[in-house]
């Protein structure tokens, strides 16, 4: 008799629950479209045989709710491109079966991006199956909950910070701006930059979150309104670096206020997809605009960024920015996140 997931003689395999012919079921959030085109989200039982192809099967323990997940769950953005979908762009859990040489059964791992929750079933489920090349070993400094407290948002913040460093922005270069500061990417970016000795200026639409932003390490907090009105092609040169999650007019205003040789990392569109800027900051101040894509980030860079993130993180600050929810609460939490009512990160507890 052999175990279905790991194809090892049972009970030697250690899974100790699946025998051939026995249908294993798991709980998942399931998003489908009705005949009239309406999107419906249910928590339901699926069979393991429904999982996509892949060489690693993971017992998911934690996931997280990112901006992109919120768009997917609410249908407010065209995130899901294959139907039906198990959303969730992040997951952390334990490997239950693997035919990939670099991934072992029993290993604690995380997976983010790669189209999970968009084109491929993702982390809002008790079980997930993915290609082994997507799997990253959980850094020893982090448990699964902390890995998902960071999740794609924290990983993206790390990529932004590494891009600023690569482009030569140092703590002595001048202040670094972080927009969408109370959100997931913004909160982690503030924590990382401050830990590295940068003078961080947080931009927020929620001035009532000032104490929180200072607790993460922001030296100064500015209202979003300062950046929301159309700017001149060049404003007073103030910022040496910037992490922008907002896009739209805010990104254009940030670029206009950069110092000569300043560097802006653009990773988000919480305020809009457009970019109503001029070329002035780029051709008259030598400003660099760096695009950040966490989804298709190459594997070596991905592993290195997670390792650095684990080194730099302050567990107490990380814990302060996290709110934990159950899988069944994710659709409602998604509405709250898009309405701008979530501070920091939402970690999803998988039953
Ligand atoms: N490129 C990538 O690989 C990548 C990876 C992760 C995330 N992202 C993108 O980055 C953005 C932020 O993600 P997140 O996970 O940090 O989301 P989040 O937790 O919802 O944070 C977004 C923050 O942006 C601000 N904001 C919200 N609506 C806004 C509006 N209409 N105008 C201006 N500011 C607004 C809010 O901060 P305040 O209240 O403090 O102003 C909010 O907390 C999203 O667009 C997401 O898709 C991209």
- Quickly name the fold that domain 25-138+321-349 has: Quinone Oxidoreductase; Chain A, domain 1 (3.90.180)
Q: What pLDDT, on the 0 to 100 scale, is given for residue 12?
A: 39
pLDDT 10s digits, 13-31: 444 344 444 569 999 999 9
37 vs 249: CA distance, rounded Å: 33
154 lines ligand 1 (CB under 6 A): no
64 pLDDT more than 50: yes
What's the whole-number average pLDDT of the chain? 94
204 lines ligand 1 (CB under 6 A): yes
Ligand 1 centroid to Cα of residue 337, in Å, is: 9
305 pLDDT more than 70: yes
pLDDT 10s digits, 320-330: 999 999 999 99
140 pLDDT more than 70: yes
Q: What pLDDT, on the 0 to 100 scale, is given for residue 231?
A: 86
116 vs 94: CA distance, rounded Å: 17
163 vs 292: CA distance, rounded Å: 8
Q: What pLDDT, on the 0 to 100 scale, is given for residue 72?
A: 98
C-alpha triplet 269, 191, 214: angle, nearest 5°: 95
Q: Which of 154, 128, 137, 127 minimizes the C-alpha distance to 66?
A: 154
**Number of Cβ within a 10 Å radius of residue 20:** 10
Average pLDDT over residues 208-237: 97
Average pLDDT over residues 90-97: 98
Residue closest via CA to ligand 1's atom 9 equals: 268
Pocket test for ligand 1, best of 156, 207, 214, 270 (most atoms within 8 A of CB): 270
CATH hierarchy code of domain 152-291: 3.40.50.720
66 lines ligand 1 (CB under 6 A): yes
| 25-138+321-349 and 152-291 have identical folds | no
4 pLDDT more than 50: no
292 lines ligand 1 (CB under 6 A): yes
CB contact set of 18 (below 8 Å; sequence gap of 6+):
3, 4, 5, 10, 24, 48
What's the pTM value of the predicted model, to 2 decimals?
A: 0.94
Pocket test for ligand 1, best of 216, 245, 298, 333 (most atoms within 8 A of CB): 245
Domain ranges of the chain: 25-138+321-349, 152-291
152 lines ligand 1 (CB under 6 A): yes
Average pLDDT over residues 129-143: 97
Residues of the chain with pLDDT > 90: what percent?
92
Average pLDDT over residues 259-283: 97
81 vs 95: CA distance, rounded Å: 27
CB contact set of 62 (below 8 Å; sequence gap of 6+):
91, 92, 93, 144, 145, 147, 148, 347, 348, 349, 350
């Amino acid at each position: 008799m052999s175990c279905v997931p790991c194809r090892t003689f049972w009970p030697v395999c250690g899974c100790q629950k699946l025998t051939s012919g026995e249908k294993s079921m798991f709980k998942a959030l399931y998003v489908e479209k009705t005949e009239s085109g309406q999107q419906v989200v249910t928590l339901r039982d699926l069979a393991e045989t429904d999982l996509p192809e892949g060489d690693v099967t993971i017992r998911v323990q934690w996931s997280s709710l990112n901006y992109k997940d919120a768009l997917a769950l609410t249908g407010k953005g065209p995130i899901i491109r294959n139907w039906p979908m198990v959303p969730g762009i992040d997951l952390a859990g334990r490997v239950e079966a693997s035919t990939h040489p670099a991934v072992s059964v029993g290993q604690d791992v995380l997976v983010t991006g790669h189209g999970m929750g968009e084109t491929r079933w993702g982390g809002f489920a008790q079980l997930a199956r993915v290609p082994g090349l997507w799997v990253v070993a959980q850094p020893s400094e982090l448990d699964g909950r902390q890995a998902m407290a960071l999740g794609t948002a924290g990983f993206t913040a790390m990529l932004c910070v590494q891009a600023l460093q690569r482009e030569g922005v140092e703590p002595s270069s001048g202040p670094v701006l972080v927009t969408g500061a109370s959100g997931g990417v913004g909160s982690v970016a503030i924590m990382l930059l401050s830990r590295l000795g940068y003078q961080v200026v947080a931009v927020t639409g929620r001035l009532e979150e000032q104490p929180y932003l200072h607790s993460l390490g922001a030296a100064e907090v500015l209202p979003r309104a300062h950046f929301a009105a159309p700017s001149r092609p060049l404003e007073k040169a103030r910022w040496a670096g910037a992490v922008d999650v907002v896009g739209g007019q805010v990104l254009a205003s940030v670029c206009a206020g950069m110092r000569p040789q300043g560097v802006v990392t653009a990773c988000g569109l919480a305020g809009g997809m457009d970019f109503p800027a001029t070329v002035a900051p780029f051709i008259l101040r030598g400003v660099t605009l760096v695009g950040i894509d966490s989804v298709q980030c190459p594997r070596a860079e991905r592993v290195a960024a997670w390792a650095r993130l684990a080194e730099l993180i302050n567990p107490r600050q990380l814990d302060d920015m996290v709110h934990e929810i159950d899988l069944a609460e994710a659709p409602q939490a998604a509405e709250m996140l898009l309405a701008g009512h979530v501070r920091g990160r939402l970690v999803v507890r998988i039953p």
